[in-house]
Structure 1
Amino acid sequence: MKQVLVVGLGGDIGTYAFQRAAHERFGWESIVLGPRVTTFGRHSTLARWIVEPDVFIPETLLGRLDEIAAGHPDHELVLFTNLDFHVRLLAEHRDRLDPRWRLPLPDLAMFDAVSSKVAFAEACDAVGIRTPLTIAVGFTPEALAAGAVPPAEALTRLRETGLEYPVIGKPADSADWFEVDFPGKQKIDHFTSEAQIEAVLGHLAERAYPSEFLLQEFVPGDETHMRSLTAYRDSDGAVTLVAGGQVLLEEHTPGTLGIPAAILTHVDDEAFDAAARLLDHAGYYGFANFDYKVSSRTGENVFFEVNPRIGRNNFYVTAAGVNVAEMVARDLLPEAVDGDAPPAPQVPQDQVLYSVVPYRFLLRYVLEPGLRARVKAAKRRHGVHHPLRYRGDASLKRRLWVRALDLRLVQKYRQHYPRPTESGF
């Protein structure tokens, strides 16, 4: 078996978690190609960094990947990213990549079939999965021709549907959202008035935003009603991994709002079956990360979106017993894995606590007695699983840096979300 090089684009905490999993299971080498060394990679020896400020420009990115491939002629090459922009870019230019690159990522047709929240809702409807009531607002002739509502009619349509505030506002396409900028831009908006909606729609109209902006039903329940689900569908069309967990606390800064900061893993057979149906329906390939919520009013699962990538919080899957890098190896580099593949899909059964928030601080936000007891029990059994706390990358300087990141995160919560609320915002 040749040596394996894992190249991650971007350098977020999800990139670190995957490369940690690859190192822990196989000892694979890693490179991160990004515009700068991120906070998650500071003082780390896990991966070598190649800093490229123009990594979002196609020709520059492809050239850098060619350089890496040429510099490692005897390696097997694995390429992945946790950023929608790069998933799309790689899908658009896959035919120009060195054929040695192995990508656990969807092609362009698959990406378009699920990455737009409008297309996702249509696919869910086709396989009987509940999604929130949604109004798609369009800003270009193409979007309007596809059935989106023009900005001038959005509030009228909103009143007609009878949606109550808060109303959720989010982009239909994360890759397009990455490229647009305007004052007050948020990852997700929680609108409490028509004036707030008008302001955002006005900014997008001025910029001729190329895809839809969604006004969406708020599904009742605080953030502990949110769920994360990670799946992998391999190149033979088999769903080989389904894992999930209950969100305990989300991040609350404007740029990261809604990203899980703490998860208690669990098995949700109904949701797992629904996710597999959708991936099979779409003919999907690679990692997929779903967000859904259990309504506090009806108890039903309501699916919001699927991200065509592994997800920022993927370490909860490895922590619960199924190494995410091994899923890729069994699919794309089977000679690296000893023994027969276990029955598919693999579903982690153990209940573990994943958290990037200090444990005692996390408990301030977990108020429901039954859930609090389960969190404490998971902590007693297995401790707290933090993706950045890795014995294989634990110099004194690195340990002190990760502790400083914990303290900085606590300060952000005290600024943006000092106490839990019924709505989660």
Structure 2
Amino acid sequence: MPDTPPRPYAALPSSEVDLVLLGGDIGIYALARAFHEKYGTVATVVTRKVAGPVADSSILRTVELGMSASEEDMVQALLKVGADKASRPSGTRPVLLANADFLVALIAAHREELGKHFHLPLLADEVLHAVADKATFSEMCTEIDVPTPRTVVLDFASGTAPEVPELELGWPLVAKASRSSAYNAVSFPGKRKVFEIEDVHQLKDLITRLTDAGYRDRFVLQEMIPGDDTAMLSVTAYVDTQGAVTLLGGAQVLLEEHTPGALGNPAAMFTTDLPEVFEQSVRFLEHSGYRGYANFDVKIDPRDGVAKFFEVNPRIGRNNYYMTAAGANVAEPVVADLIEERELTRLVPRQEILYSIVPWPLLRRYIVDPDLRDRVQQIRTRGTVHPLAYGVEGCRRRLYVLTAMANQVKKFLQHYPRPSTHGF
């Protein structure tokens, strides 16, 4: 099992660092781990259900709300945690972070009241609304010559099924919600994070299901960029309150998750330098007036070798631990920005590491390029990390990580039994 030894805590900054997290997935634990590694912080996690990624951990405390908790319940729980000065005798103001689009949107909708208790590394409302919308994101990229896939937008705002326009995207094509925060509010049979649409009949069927489910936002149709999971890139950044990009790094994806609800989330990747993609990412962040954490999804188009930007997530992303493991601890830029209020020289990953939540034999099976497989094998021997495999944790956590990796084998055999040329 990949593991890393506990690291000595760095000297605390001038103000003690405190962290509150909303949610309970792998990415939330990875954030808690980064703060613990750097500052010794024991985070508070507010979540509907204390599931495996955050259960039985020594580096965080949990506040469980129950699966029936409403968004208002979550806000009230955060306000209660923020007002609890007894747990912070020094009067420290915690940083509040979330790692799901709808939770980021929830915090933003209540930024005034939450901002009285927490540091909020958030985008301005108008910027958040623009960049979190995949259709608007594509338009913004076009304005500054950042390549994106060809895109057509369907609008469901009227409550009636939109007409299928003339399409010149080719078949199959990719369909996905323009804003995941709006998509999260509806449910229907066969719901997926991303759809591969083979023909116009499948497209009309999806439109009908979305309309019947009460979906009232936009849906984007994009050309299918060829290439399997290994053509994908991930870029992670932080922009401080002065507009400086103080964290920037990236990785080549090796394997993505393929369950319907998690399709596209990286399951394995290795850090690598991406100069042109980094320059384009910074250009977009500066053009949009971005602030806080960002995570870009990018794919290399084998037809022309051009990196096409799919979207930017207005959060750090669930795979964020690859940055910390490679030497760019993701906690440092937000602490420097909001707590220490100091300029920070841009942090970039310095080490080439393999990030993986799946066993090596399974990962190896999906890397079909022999040269790439050999390269990953070499990287693996130098450094392999699993975000949940933290040496300070106890036996229950170690058992959970082993069980989770075994479950990944089952999931891939069910949902993606063999590698494909397009990743679906």
Equivalent position of 1:146 in the other structure = none
Equivalent position of 1:26 in the other structure = 39
Letter paired with 2:360:
Y
Equivalent position of 2:412 in the other structure = 413
Cα displacement (A) at 1:423: 1.3
Letter paired with 1:343:
T
Equivalent position of 2:373 in the other structure = 372
2:336 touches 2:344 (CA, 8 Å); kept in 1? no
Q: Counterpart of 1:230 in 2: which secondary structure?
A: strand
Distance 1:260 1:50 in 2: 28
Identical columns (%)? 42
Work out whether 1:115 is the aligned partner of 2:121.
no
Letter paired with 1:354:
Y
Distance 1:68 1:343 in 2: 32
Distance 2:353 2:24 in 1: 25
Which of the residues 63, 66, 82 maps onto 1:50? 63
Q: Counterpart of 2:52 in 1: which secondary structure?
A: coil
Equivalent position of 1:294 in the other structure = 300
Distance 1:9 1:31 in 2: 9
Distance 2:81 2:146 in 1: 42
Cα displacement (A) at 1:273: 0.6
Q: Counterpart of 2:247 in 1: which secondary structure?
A: strand
Equivalent position of 2:345 in the other structure = 343
TM-score by length of 2: 0.92
Cα displacement (A) at 1:95: 0.7
Equivalent position of 2:6 in the other structure = none
Distance 1:137 1:151 in 2: 9
Distance 2:77 2:56 in 1: 23
Equivalent position of 1:130 in the other structure = 147
Which of the residues 51, 54, 65 maps onto 1:38? 51
Cα displacement (A) at 1:207: 3.7
Structure 1, unpaired ranges of 5+: 144-149
Equivalent position of 2:335 in the other structure = 329
1:140 touches 1:208 (CA, 8 Å); kept in 2? no
Cα displacement (A) at 1:200: 1.3
Cα displacement (A) at 1:168: 0.3
1:18-417 alignment runs, 5 A limit: 18-53=31-66, 57-72=70-85, 73=88, 74-141=91-158, 151-154=161-164, 156-158=165-167, 161=168, 163-334=169-340, 343-344=345-346, 346-382=347-383, 384-393=384-393, 395-417=394-416
Cα displacement (A) at 1:391: 0.9
Distance 1:400 1:68 in 2: 30
Q: Counterpart of 1:76 in 2: which secondary structure?
A: coil
Equivalent position of 1:17 in the other structure = 30
Distance 1:83 1:107 in 2: 17
Letter paired with 1:398:
R
1:267 touches 1:349 (CA, 8 Å); kept in 2? no
Query: RMSD between aligned alpha carbons?
Result: 1.8
TM-score by length of 1: 0.92
Distance 2:162 2:291 in 1: 39
Cα displacement (A) at 1:245: 0.7
Q: Which of 298-307 and 130-139 deviates more?
A: 130-139
Equivalent position of 1:147 in the other structure = none
Distance 1:264 1:77 in 2: 32
Distance 2:80 2:115 in 1: 10
Distance 2:18 2:356 in 1: 28
1:34 touches 1:55 (CA, 8 Å); kept in 2? no
Distance 2:98 2:418 in 1: 34
Distance 2:392 2:343 in 1: 27
1:145-193 CA distances to partner (integer Å, 9 max, x unpaired)?
A: xxxxx84531x412xx1x2222101000010011111111000001112
Q: Which of 241-250 and 38-47 deviates more?
A: 38-47
Number of matched pairs: 407
Cα displacement (A) at 1:96: 1.2
Q: Counterpart of 1:17 in 2: which secondary structure?
A: helix
Structure 2, unpaired ranges of 5+: 1-13
Letter paired with 2:81:
I
Cα displacement (A) at 1:342: 5.4
